[in-house]
Amino acid sequence: MEQATFGGGCFWCTEAVFQNLKGVEKVVSGYTGGRIANPTYKEVCSGLTGHNEVIQVTFDPAVVSYEELLEVFWKTHDPTTLNRQGNDTGTQYRSGIYTHTEEQQRLAEHYKQKLTETGAFDQPITTEIVPLTTFYPAEDYHQNYYNLNGSQPYCQFVVKSKVDKVKAVFGHKLKQTA
């Protein structure tokens, strides 16, 4: 098993996007990139800690490659809006890839360069690609959030559209139970 860490806005959205992919064993919502140890959700939401809401994906590279995870990442959020995803604004919602190895760093930078060269987006990509420092799991009530709280308004209006997009675009890569 390997790990990948992504920030694509609210971690409830990114968690729901990745957890039904074949080869993904576990997705944990959490925080990285900030100035204090063991931050709380309230502290991160203040925007003062420098942390980003991220997910850490544990995956089987024999089933789903890191490159495939990158493809899902790039296609399921807007990497051109600095510190923003939809109505969620602040540095805690920035687009980021937090690499675990030099190979992940190389692959992520190559993918970003390819997207830039081909003009895949109308605006410049603002996604940061940096080595992962420390990952702090979010509080328990943030884990598996969409599956446990799918009827909540935020889940219905924001998360569900991302989940539906994954089903439409990556249906062949989803677990049978998804």
Report pLDDT digits (tens) over 39-76: 999 999 999 999 999 999 999 999 999 999 999 999 99
Residue 66's Cβ-count burial label (10 Å; 0-12, 13-18, 19+) is: buried
pTM over 0.85: yes
- pLDDT for the residue 176: 82
Q: What burial class does residue 118 get, using C-beta atoms within 10 Å of its C-beta: 0-12 exposed, 13-18 middle, 19+ buried? A: exposed
Residues assigned a catalytic role: 10
Q: Is 40 exposed, middle or buried (0-12, 13-18, 19+ CB in 10 A)?
A: middle
Q: What is the pLDDT of residue 96?
A: 98
pLDDT of residue 2: 98
> ∠ CA 137-94-53 to the nearest 5 degrees?
15
Mean pLDDT across 72-94: 93
What is the spatial distance between Cα 39 and Cα 139, in angstroms, rounded to a whole number?
10
87 pLDDT band (50/70/90 cuts)? confident
Question: Which H or E element spans position 32?
Answer: strand 24-32
Residue 86 pLDDT: 84
pLDDT at 178 over 70: no
